[in-house]
Amino acid sequence: MSAATTTVARHSSRSSGLPQHQAERRLGRRLLLPTAILLTLMVGYPIVWALRLSLFSDSITGQTHLVGFDNYARALWGSDAVQFWAAVRDTALFTVAAGGLELVIGVAMALVMSHLGVFRGLVRAMILVPWAIPTAVAAVLWKWMLTPNGIVNELLGRQILWTGETTPARTAVVLIDVWKTAPFVGLLVLAGLQLIPKDLYESAKIDGAGAVRRFRSITLPLVAPAILVAMLFRVLDLMRMYDTPAILTNGANGTATLSLFTYEHAIDQAKFGYGSALSTLTFMLIFAAAFLIIRLCGVKVFASDREGSGG
C-alpha cells in the first residue's frame, strides 16, 4: 500500500501492476475522454474537413469536382496572388507593429505599476477595464472617437480621415489593439516582476549598481521568460486578428487581415472550396510562426509547470 502511494505521489510513468495504480490510470483516461471528444469534433474534424473541401471547386449549382491544388495555386501565385500576399503583408505589419508596441508599453506599464505604492490596488483594478471590454465594443467605441469630427481629432487639433485612408486606417487598427492589450501584457509582466526576490536589488545597490544597471542586469533577464511567453501568445493572437478591422473598416484601406480575406471569400461569397484553402493557408502560416518562435527563442511554455508553480 505504501509503495503504491509513493508511486502515485511521484507520478512515475512506470507502469505498476498494483490495482490502485491501474484504477487511477483508467480514471485518468475516462476523465480526459469528454475533452478529447469535444476538441476532436469541434477543432480536429473541421480542420481536416477544410483540407478536403479545399481540394474541390466552387460552383453556384452545388456541383463541385476535385481540382487538386488549384485553389491553393490561385491564392499563392494565381489570379488572387496580389490580394493574398497583401493580406499576408498587412497581417504581418499589424503583428509586428502592435506586438512591438504592446511589449514596450506593457513592460513600461508593469514597471510603473510596481513602483506605485499606495496606488497599486487602484491601478490593478482599472488595468482590467480595457481587457474586459469586448473587442467588438472597443472597435465601435474607437470608430466613434475616430470619426472626422470626433474627440481624437479634436484633441489632436487635426482633421484626419482615420478610416478613409491607408496609413491612418492601419494606425487606428494598431492603436485599438494596443490600447486594449498593452495593459494585459503589463499585468503578465508585473506577475513576472513580483517573482524576483527583493534582496537581489538590495545587494546590487550595495555593490553600487545604478537603477539602469539594476534594470538591465536583474530585471530584464529574470522577466525575459515571462515576456517571451506573453509575446508568443500575442503574436499568435495578432496573426488571427479579425474583429477590429472587420468592424472599423471591413478590410478597406489596407486593413484586410488574413482572417478577413478568408472570411470574405468563404462566407460573403460562399466559396467553401477556395475559402477552405485560404483558411488552411492561414492555419499553416500561424502554425509555422508558432514553431519558429518556440524554436528560435526557446520559449519555455511549460516552464511554470516544471517549477511546480503557476501563480
Partner 1 sequence: MTTTADVSVGARTGARARRAVAPARRRRRTLVVLGQLVGFAVLAMWCLFPMYWMIVSSLKGPSAILSNSLVPASPSLLNFETIFQGSHNLLYALRNSLIVAGTTTVIALIVGTLAAYAAARLPIKRRGLVMGIVLATSMFPHIAIVPPLFQLFTEWGWIDTYQALVLPYVSFGLPFAIWVLYSYFRQLPWELEQAAQVDGCTPLTAFARIVLPLAAPAVFTTAILVFIIAWNEFLMANTFSLTLASQPVTVAIARFTGGSELEQPFGPIMAAGVVVTIPLIIVVLIFQRKIIGGLTAGGLKG
Residue (82 or 212) nearer to partner 1, CB: 212
Q: What is the DSSP letter of 66?
A: B
Which of 25, 69, 81, 89 lies at the binding interface for partner 1 (CB under 8 A)?
25
CB of 134 to partner 1, least distance (A): 4
Q: Which of residues 89-108 bind partner 1 (CB under 8 A)?
A: 104-105, 108
Stretch that binds partner 1, among 2-10, 76-84, 92-100, 166-174 (CB under 8 A): 2-10
Residue 18, helix vs strand vs coil: coil
Q: Closest by alpha carbon to 171, among 232, 115, 249, 230?
A: 249
Phi, psi of 271 (to 5 degrees): -100, 90
Stretch that binds partner 1, among 41-49, 72-80, 92-100, 165-173 (CB under 8 A): 41-49
Residue (13 or 159) nearer to partner 1, CB: 13
Which of 24, 57, 73, 74 lies at the binding interface for partner 1 (CB under 8 A)?
24
Q: Which of residues 60-89 bind partner 1 (CB under 8 A)?
A: none
Q: Which of residues 187-206 bind partner 1 (CB under 8 A)?
A: 187-188, 191
CA distance linking residue 244 with residue 227, whole number of Å: 24
CA distance linking residue 27 with residue 33, whole number of Å: 10
Residues in contact with partner 1, total (CB under 8 A)? 118
Q: Which of residues 209-228 bind partner 1 (CB under 8 A)?
A: 210-212, 215
Residue (118 or 296) nearer to partner 1, CB: 118
CB of 113 to partner 1, least distance (A): 7
Q: How far, in whole angstroms, is CA 311 from its chain's centroid?
A: 20
Q: Which helix (H) or strand (E) holds 175?
A: helix 166-193
Q: How far, in whole angstroms, is CA 224 from its chain's centroid?
A: 18
What would the grid cell of residue 178 be? 494596443
Residue 56, helix vs strand vs coil: strand
| CA pseudo-torsion sign 280, 282, 285, 289 | negative
Residue (16 or 76) nearer to partner 1, CB: 16
CB of 258 to partner 1, least distance (A): 7
Q: Which of residues 115-174 bind partner 1 (CB under 8 A)?
A: 115-119, 122-130, 132-145, 147, 149-151, 154
Burial (CB count <10 Å: 0-12, 13-18, 19+), residue 243 = middle
Stretch that binds partner 1, among 68-76, 82-90, 165-173, 281-289 (CB under 8 A): 281-289
302 binds partner 1 (CB under 8 A): yes
How many other β-carbons are positioned within 10 Å of the β-carbon of residue 286?
A: 19
Q: Does residue 86 contact residue 256 with C-beta atoms inside 8 Å? A: yes
CB of 265 to partner 1, least distance (A): 9
Residue (254 or 282) nearer to partner 1, CB: 282
